[in-house]
Structure 1
Amino acid sequence: MKPVYISCLLAFLSHMHFASAQVSRDLPFADISTYPQEMTSATVAARMVESLGFRYRYATQGLEDENMDFRASEDARTIGETMLHIYGLSMVIHNSVMEKPYAKKERLSPMKAREISLYLLKTVYDQLLSMDDDELKAITVRGDYPFWILINGPLADALWHSGQVATLRRAAGNPMPKGVNVFLGTYNGSNK
C-alpha cells in the first residue's frame, strides 16, 4: 500500500509543479517603457510590433470565459472570435518576418490563442531588432507583397482589433485593467 501512496503523491506533486510552471510563465510585453537608442527602419518596425503586443496583452488581460461570447450586434464578431482573428494576423506577421513559418493550431481557446500570439509577436520583435535595411526590404507578405503591406495590412488590422476587444470588454462589463498607460508603455497593476 505504501508504494502506491508514494507513487500517487509523487504524481500529484509533479502535476502541481507542472501546472504552477504553466501559470507562472511570463507573457511578453508587460512593459515597453524602454526602447532602442538607435532609430533605424528595423527598430521602428520592431517598436510597432512591440506596441501591438503591449496593447493586445492589456486589452485581453483578465478576460473571463463568459466574456468570450459577447458581441456588439448579431453580425459582429464576439470577443473570442476577434481574439482568434488576431491570432491569425499574428501568424501572418510572424510568417512574413521569420524564415521558419509557424503552423496554425486548431481548436484553441481564445486565451490560449492570446498567449501564442504574444509569443509569436515577441519572436518577430526580437528578429526585427537584429535586421538591417536590406533584410527588412527582403521581407514579403505571403511571398508576393512588400514589407509595406505588413504595416497597413495585418499589423494595423491587429491594432484595430485590439482596440475593438478593449471596447467590447468594457461594454460586457469587464473593462481593461486599471494602471495601463499606453502613452508611456507601462502598467502599474497585477500582470496575468
Structure 2
Amino acid sequence: MKPYTFLFIIALFCHMNFVNAQETRPLPFADISTYPDSFSPGTVAARMVESLGFRYRYATQGLQDENMDFKASDDARSIGKTLLHIYDLSIVIHNAVLETPYTKLAETSPMEAREESLHLLKAVYDRLVSMDDAEIAAVKVRGEHPLWILINGPLADALWHSGQVATLRRAAGNPMPKGVNVFLGKYSGEVKE
C-alpha cells in the first residue's frame, strides 16, 4: 500500500468520525431540575432560556414529517413554519448575548432547525449563567435594545410558539410525549433526540 493511500484512508476515517460526531451530539435541556444556588441577573436570565429550551425540546420531540404541514386554519402558520420561526427567534436571542454572531443555515428542515435552535439556546444559557451584572446590562438586542426587550420580545415569543406547537401537534393526532413535568423541569419518559 502506498503511503499516500494510507494517509488518505486515515484522513477519510477522521472526517467520517467528525461528521458522525456532529450529527450525534446530544440535545440539551433533557432535564432542568437542578438550578443555581444563588440569584443574579445572569442566573435568572439563564433560567428563563433554560426553561424555553426544556419546553421547546419536549413540545417538538417525536414530531413526524407528516405533522409539519398541519395548521389550525388556512391563514395560520403550520407546525413546520413555527419551528422555523422559533429558529429565527433563537438566532436573535443568541446574537444578543454572545459576542460571535451566528449565521443562519441557508437551507434547513424544521427538525434540523429545532436541533440547531436547542444548541443555540444552550450556548446562550452557558454564557448568561456566567455573566456578571455589568455584562448583563451591556446585552443589546439588534445592537440597540436592552435585555428587557430580549425578555418580552424574542424569548417570550419563542415560549408562546412552543405552546402553539404543543397544541397544534395534539390537534394533528401526535400529542406531546407523556411524562413532561414543566413545573419541576423533569421528564420521566423515554428521551429521544
Q: TM-score, normalised by structure 2?
A: 0.89
| Residue 111 of structure 1, CA deviation | 0.4
For residue 157 of structure 1, what is the amino acid of its counterpart?
D
Residue 45 of structure 1 corresponds to: 45
Residue 88 of structure 2 corresponds to: 88
Query: Structure 1 stretches of 5 or more lacking a match?
Result: 1-12
> Where do 1:1-192 residues align within 5 Å?
21=21, 24-191=24-191, 192=193
Q: 1:175 to 1:23 in 2, by over 3 A?
A: farther
Rounded to whole Å, the distance in 1 between the matches of 2:152 and 2:107 is: 28
Residue 9 of structure 1 corresponds to: none
Rounded to whole Å, the distance in 1 between the matches of 2:149 and 2:96 is: 10
| Residue 88 of structure 1, CA deviation | 0.1
After superposition, the C-alpha distances for 1:12-63 in whole angstroms (9 at most, x for unaligned) are x999977865664210000000000011111000000000000000000000
Rounded to whole Å, the distance in 2 between the matches of 1:134 and 1:14 is: 42
User: Which 4+ residue blocks in structure 1 deviate beyond 2 angstroms?
Assistant: 13-25
Q: 1:89 to 1:16 in 2, by over 3 A?
A: same
| Residue 124 of structure 1, CA deviation | 0.3
Percent identity between the two aligned chains: 73
Count matched residues: 181
After superposition, the C-alpha distances for 1:151-171 in whole angstroms (9 at most, x for unaligned) are 000000000000000000000
For residue 187 of structure 1, what is the amino acid of its counterpart?
Y
Q: 1:144 to 1:170 in 2, by over 3 A?
A: same
SS in 1 for 2:85: helix
Q: 1:42 to 1:18 in 2, by over 3 A?
A: closer
Rounded to whole Å, the distance in 1 between the matches of 2:119 and 2:125 is: 10
Rounded to whole Å, the distance in 1 between the matches of 2:74 and 2:24 is: 37
Rounded to whole Å, the distance in 2 between the matches of 1:119 and 1:128 is: 14
After superposition, the C-alpha distances for 1:71-103 in whole angstroms (9 at most, x for unaligned) are 000010000000000000000000000000000
Residue 4 of structure 1 corresponds to: none
SS in 1 for 2:175: coil
| Residue 107 of structure 1, CA deviation | 1.7
| Residue 178 of structure 1, CA deviation | 0.5
SS in 1 for 2:153: helix
Rounded to whole Å, the distance in 2 between the matches of 1:63 and 1:15 is: 30
Q: 1:16 to 1:145 in 2, by over 3 A?
A: closer
Rounded to whole Å, the distance in 2 between the matches of 1:15 and 1:65 is: 29
Rounded to whole Å, the distance in 2 between the matches of 1:19 and 1:190 is: 26
Q: CA RMSD in A?
A: 1.9
